[in-house]
Amino acid sequence: MATQTGITIAGPNQPYTVVDTIPRPTVGPKQALVKSLYVGLNPVEPFMQHSGILIAEFPAVIGSDTTAVVLEAGAECTKLRRGDYVFGCAPVGLNRFSPFQETFLVDEAWVFKKTARVGLEEGSTVGAGSLTAGLALIDGLRLQLPSPGTAAPRRDSWVVVMGGSGTVGQYAVQIAKLCGYKVLASCSPSKAEIARKAGADATFDNRAPLDEQLGIIERVTGGGQFRHVVDASAQAFELSIKALETIAREEDKFFATVDDWSEMNVSDSINVYRVQFGTLGRLEQPLGKHVTGVIAELVAAFEGHIETGALRPLDYQLVPGAGWDRIMESIADLEAGKFTKKPVVKVQEE
Ligand SMILES: NC(=O)c1ccc[n+]([C@@H]2O[C@H](COP(=O)([O-])OP(=O)(O)OC[C@H]3O[C@@H](n4cnc5c(N)ncnc54)[C@H](OP(=O)(O)O)[C@@H]3O)[C@@H](O)[C@H]2O)c1
C-alpha cells in the first residue's frame, strides 16, 4: 500500500505528529485525488484536536479549507480533470478527505473548480465560510439566491448578522446582500471596516451592553423591519432571540446559528436552524444526506457568483514559509488570537 506524509493526531487532545505512514487514498468514480497546496485555518481545527469531536477515525488526519491540484480524476467525473485546481472545505473528520496530508480525495460535487477569478492562496478562504453561511441563510433563513449574473429584487427588509467580521460572518453579509437585503452586522469596532467591505450597510459593537445593542438594532432597522437573524459568531444567542422577540415587526421570524452545541430554548414563534456543516459527506445519516445535497447545490450556485464577482474570497494573511511545521505553529497562533485576518498556509510545492 502506498503511503504519504502528513500530520496525524493519535486521540482527543493528543499533539500533532508528522508521519510518513498515512495510506494514500484511492479515488471513487466521482472523486478526484488531489495534491494539497494551501490550507486556510478555522476554529474547527483546534476544536477537533482538543475534543476529538467530529473525528471519525484515529489516528486522525484533519484540516478543512484547502486549495489543491487534481492528480487523478475518477472514471465518472464530469467536472474535474487531471491538472485542474480546486478549492473548498473538506467533509471534516474523514481522513481520506482531509488536507493536512500530501494528497487526499475530493468529491467533485462538493468542491469548487478554480478559474482565473480566484488566486491559489485566496481559494482556501472560501469553502468553510461560504458554505456554512450558505447553509445558514439559504437552507436556514430560506433566502432566495438569484441566478448568477442576475440581481435579486431589492427588499425593504434587513438581515441582522451577528459576527459580520468573521470568516462565516463576512460570507453571511455577502450572501444576504446578494439576496437583495439590507444588512446590519455586529463586530468589534476595530473590525467594522471588514464587515463594511463585505457589504454591511451598518455595523454595531458586539461587546456593548445588551440593551445598547438592542437599541441600535431597533433604530437602524427603522423600528424592526426585519425577520431574519443569523448568529455567525456562536456568541449572540440571547441578543438574537431578544431582537427577534421584542424588536422584529415582520411575520415569520427566522434565526439561524452556527452554534450547534449549546442548549437552546426558543418559543415556537421563531423558526430555528442550527448549521451542522460537520455532517457533509455523512451520507448514511438523514441529516448528512440533506446537508450534502444542499452543499452540492450551493457549490454549483456559488461557482457562478464567484465568476461574476458577486461573491468574493476573503482578505487573508499568508504565513511565511511552508510545510507541516508551519501548519502546526499557525494553529497554535490561531488559538492564541494572533491573526487579524484569515490565516492561509502553504503546504507544499506543486
Ligand atoms: N455549526 C457549524 O457547522 C459551524 C461551521 C463553521 C463554523 N462554526 C463555528 O462558527 C463560529 C465562527 O467561525 P468563524 O470561522 O467565522 O470564526 P472567526 O473568523 O474567528 O469569527 C468569529 C466571529 O465571532 C465574533 N465574536 C467573537 N467573540 C465574540 C463575543 N464575545 N461576542 C460577540 N461576537 C464575538 C467575532 O467578532 P470580532 O472579532 O469582530 O469581535 C467574529 O465576527 C466558530 O465558533 C466556529 O466553530 C460552526
3-state secondary structure 132-166: HHHHHHHHHCCCCCCCCCCCCCCCCCEEEEECCCC
pLDDT for the residue numbered 1: 81
Q: What mean pLDDT, rounded, does the chain reach?
A: 97
Q: Is residue 300 part of a domain?
A: no
CA of 233 to the centre of ligand 1 (A): 3
Residue 125's pLDDT band (cuts 50, 70, 90): very high
Atom of ligand 1 nearest to the CA of 236: 33
Question: Does 180 share its domain with 114?
Answer: no
Half-sphere exposure of 116 (CA within 13 A, CB side): 0
Q: Domain check: are 163 and 116 in the same one? A: no
Compute the distance between CA of residue 247 and CA of residue 172 in angstroms, rounded to an integer. 21
- Owning domain of residue 319: 3-126+313-346
What value does the mean pLDDT take over residues 57-84?
98
Which ligand 1 atom lies nearest to the CA of residue 233? 24
Do 169 and 263 have their domain in common? yes
| Digit-coded pLDDT (tens) for 15-48 | 999 999 999 999 999 999 999 999 999 999 999 9
Same domain, 153 and 92: no
| Same-domain pairing of 159 and 191 | yes
- 172 and 196 in a single domain? The answer is yes
Output the residue whose Cα is nearest ligand 1's atom 31.
235
Nearest Cα neighbor of 313 from 43, 115, 97 is 115
165 CA distance to ligand 1 middle (Å) = 9
Are 92 and 134 part of one and the same domain? no
Ligand 1 centre from 147 Cα, in Å? 29
What is the pLDDT averaged over residues 305-318?
98
Ligand 1 in contact with 140 (CB < 6 A)? no
Any domain includes 157: yes
Report whether residue 43 contacts ligand 1, using a CB cutoff of 6 Å: yes
Rounded mean pLDDT, 6-19? 98
The residue whose CA has the least distance to atom 26 of ligand 1 is 233
Ligand 1 lined by 191 (C-beta under 6 Å): yes
As for how many domains the chain has, the answer is 2
Q: What angle do CA 298, 268, 286 make, to 5 degrees?
A: 40
329: domain CATH number is 3.90.180.10
Residue 216, domain CATH: 3.40.50.720
Nearest to 306 by CA among 75, 47, 18, 114: 114
Confidence (pLDDT) at 114: 98
In contact, 206 and 235? CB cutoff 8 Å: yes
Ligand 1, atom 29, lies closest to the CA of: 235
In DSSP notation, 233-244 reads SSS-HHHHHHII
Same domain flag for 114 and 163: no
Residue 132 in contact with ligand 1 by CB distance below 6 A: yes
Establish how many alpha carbons lie within 13 A of residue 14's alpha carbon, considering only the half-sphere containing its beta carbon: 16
In a domain, 289, yes or no: no
Pair (53, 99) in one structural domain: yes
Angle between helix 324-335 and helix 44-51 axes, rounded to 10 deg: 90
Atom from ligand 1 closest to the CA of residue 191: 40
- Pocket probe for ligand 1: among 168, 193, 315, the residue whose CB has the most ligand atoms within 8 Å is 168
Domain check: are 47 and 116 in the same one? yes
Of 204, 228, 207, nearest in space to 216 by CA: 204
Same domain? 135 vs 195: yes
Do residues 251 and 205 share a domain? Answer: yes
pLDDT digits (tens, 9 = 90+) for 252-279: 999 999 999 999 999 999 999 999 999 9
